[in-house]
Structure 1
Amino acid sequence: MIGDRVLPFAGRATAEIYGQPASWSILTDDERELRTRAYRFLMPAHEWQVIERVLADLARHRIIPTSLSFQARRGYWDALRFSRGTSPAPLFRRIAQDAEQDRVLIAPLRTMAERVLEADRARLQFLLYVRHLEERQAEEAALRVAENRCLIAWIRAEARERAERYRFALERLAVEAPQRDAVGPERALAALEPEIATLDTLPVGALDACADDVAPTPAPVAGPAAPPPDGVIVFKE
């Protein structure tokens, strides 16, 4: 009840206060699946990052601004060191496993994001053929499209940052306890980074356009229209 109803409701209401795109329309099956797959990349990679996980979950539901859920580059490394035993070998394996799992999950995530973006294009196109279109309906459609684009941009940025955290931990572990086990995570990271780069083909613009103070804005009444920031949907009556 809390995870499926209370937090999403509170998050949408709070996002409106922050000025973020927040639609109250029902989620499509693909949009729901996209949000489920986003969980992996929006949460800290290590389960011992307890405080960061709490903040990240609140930010994922948009109850707090994303700026308050900032994950330090060394957070994964600190949790890794804190959980270590008497041998560095399990730590090298953990980095390799986390990187490999991310790599495997990116392709289906990208496919789902492409399906959501295609549906959004159809949604906006369909607005042109609605006989009796209410202003609120058009606004809700624009807000949902902006919401989806901002989510995809956020996933892409966090996926890239996760790879940087893995490399940060690997480099320090290799210096602290150099051994042949470092080859496995290095290969896993080498395979992960080009997979993350495929997310750059998604037409969602930069994450900066989804700042906490950015919301869909109406087009000017007269004069040439300035191009909107990437990720912000401008809609007309």
Structure 2
Amino acid sequence: MLAAVLGACAPRGDFGRPAPSVIGDRILPFAGRAFAQTRDEPASWSILTEDERELRARAYRFLMPAHEWQVSDRILADLIRHRVTPAPLRLGQRRSYWDALIFSQGVSPAPLFRRIAQDAEQDRALIPLVREVAERVLAADEARLRFLLHVQVLVESQAEQAALRVAENRCLIAWVRSEARERALRYRYALERLAIEAPQRSAIEPERALAALDATIPTLDTLPVGELGACAEAIRTPHHRLTPASAAASPRPEAPSIPARDAPPPEGVMLFKR
């Protein structure tokens, strides 16, 4: 718990990513994989690719509470993000952002309107970056699964770890997309409460920022990862005996499908040099 408190209170990095730290980069991820494994959730011990690391860093902003004054929520969210504790389908109440906003900024409405606009705009700006790295990760996952079919001597544990990593990636992308939607609803809740209490022209800026955010979030819907609810339901199913055959029989995003052995490699990917 002390590690979670220290991790949640650590300064945030640039562009919505967490600041580097031993706790956040080593201790909590290791503990999270171990705890997830005991719950029979997809937990791969394989090394992360650079894009997989970047995806997890980009996910940070969307998986943590939007306001820094949501201290208790941030501690719990960090434990959930690292999978030390099981992930609920929704963390906190929709009004939690509004409560933190009012508590931190006092009684003047102008800075409150500005903060809502800034948070919404920063989310909007990050979504294309999340989508870009998510597309690269999904493409690499497809190549990884195809590569399994061409390995001359395949250890079953290696196939299992690959399938589990693909499941982790898909569930993470579905989770980020779900939280992006929820954050927009929390901003909307705060803006409506504030406009009722202090109607003024300052509400125009956050309204425009929220409209832009609402228009950007659907660009994540085309990512082929399914919905968060299906993923959350699937992680209750034991994965410790996952094999290429069982992976092929399971739906996305929880367990990946493995192509037929005569399937060609992905376009632009060379599996072996000839």
Contact 1:106 / 1:196 at 8 angstroms: preserved in 2? yes
Deviations 1:31-69 (A, max 9, x none): 000000100100000000000000000000000011297
Contact 1:42 / 1:60 at 8 angstroms: preserved in 2? yes
Amino acid of the residue matched to residue 204 of structure 1? V
The alignment status of 1:213 with 2:256, answered yes or no, reads no
Aligned residues: 233
Contact 2:231 / 2:253 at 8 angstroms: preserved in 1? yes
Which of residues 190, 194, 214 is equivalent to 1:193? 214
User: Which residue of structure 2 lines up, in the alignment, with residue 143 of structure 1?
Assistant: 164
Provide the C-alpha distance between the structure 1 equivalents of 2:238 and 2:125, rounded to a whole number of angstroms. 34
Matches within 5 A, 1:40-79: 40-67=61-88, 70-79=91-100
TM-score, structure 2 normalization:
0.81
Provide the C-alpha distance between the structure 2 equivalents of 1:64 and 1:118, rounded to a whole number of angstroms. 29
CA distance change for structure 1 residues 61 and 73 in 2, over 3 Å: closer, same or farther? Answer: same
Contact 1:46 / 1:79 at 8 angstroms: preserved in 2? yes
**Offset, 1:110:** 0.3
Provide the C-alpha distance between the structure 2 equivalents of 1:56 and 1:13, rounded to a whole number of angstroms. 18
* CA RMSD across the alignment: 2.0
CA distance change for structure 1 residues 200 and 44 in 2, over 3 Å: closer, same or farther? Answer: same
Q: For residue 105 of structure 2, give the secondary structure of its aligned residue in structure 1.
A: coil
Identity %: 68
TM-score, structure 1 normalization:
0.93
The alignment status of 1:177 with 2:198, answered yes or no, reads yes
Provide the C-alpha distance between the structure 2 equivalents of 1:135 and 1:219, rounded to a whole number of angstroms. 8
The alignment status of 1:83 with 2:104, answered yes or no, reads yes
CA distance change for structure 1 residues 141 and 183 in 2, over 3 Å: closer, same or farther? Answer: same
Deviations 1:175-214 (A, max 9, x none): 0111111111000000001111100010001112322413
